[in-house]
Amino acid sequence: MAALAAARGAIVVVDYGMGNLRSVWQALAHVADGRQVLVSSDPAAVAAAERVVFPGQGAMPDCMHEIETRGLRSAVLEAARNKPFLGICIGQQMLFEHSDEGNVPGLGLIAGNVRRFPAEKMIDAMGSKLKVPHMGWNEVRHSREHALWKGIANDARFYFVHSYFVEPQDEDYVVGTTRYGIPFTSAVARDNIFAIQCHPEKSAIDGLAMLANFVAWKP
């Protein structure tokens, strides 16, 4: 009961056993302006939170399996419908309908699919082959204005680690793009949802600015 009481009005980072969440928690706590930041695998804590952060690392099939096994699916879906919600990396990909990674369905909150970087197009401007996964710093270009871009320059660099990227059916949801061999959607937003492929918690000053913007966001 004490943990649930603490979650009310807090920022809750969803823990479904995939990836080290300490860096996400530390970055959020740094910019939370005194608000409580919790890491929790309790669906009731997710439901009680004021804001929810949905991060993750690893393979999409494993992540979806853990969400189901831990009984978090309904709580995550409900949070994504009615409160400020930030998806990070796999947490972005799982919002979509389907992933080519393991041929698995996602949560279906955003129409579209998750695709693997096409090997034949992984060539840089000098004609050299690019490695997959896409790993390291890269620019994110703002496709349109959004509250989470406040104070962040267009083409600011963020840290990426991924082999798959999202393809929304509705281009109106695209708020950020990045080029790695091909241009791809790196950030999407709809109503109370903002989701990004990179890791803001590992992206220095601009990443912290994004997280601070999320803490203050009133969609």
167 an active-site residue?
Answer: no
pTM of the entire predicted model: 0.96
Catalytic residue among 63, 89, 134, 162: 89
Nearest Cα to Cα of residue 95 among 188, 185, 206: 188
DSSP H or E segment with residue 22: helix 22-31
Cα separation, 77 vs 213, whole angstroms: 22
pLDDT of residue 198: 97
Q: Which of 101, 134, 198, 201 is catalytic?
A: 201
Q: Which of 101, 134, 162, 199 is catalytic?
A: 199
89 is annotated as an active-site residue: yes
> Per-residue confidence of the chain (219 residues) as pLDDT tens digits?
545 556 677 999 999 998 779 999 999 999 998 899 999 999 999 999 999 999 988 899 999 999 999 999 999 999 999 999 999 999 999 999 999 999 999 999 999 999 999 999 999 988 999 999 999 999 999 999 999 999 999 999 999 999 999 999 999 999 999 999 999 999 999 999 999 999 999 999 999 999 999 999 999
Asked if 65 is an active-site residue, the reply is: no
| Alpha-carbon span 219 to 210, nearest angstrom | 15
In the numeric block, which tokens belong to residue 164?
Answer: 């798959």
What's residue 2's pLDDT? 46
Helix (H) or strand (E) holding 43: helix 43-48
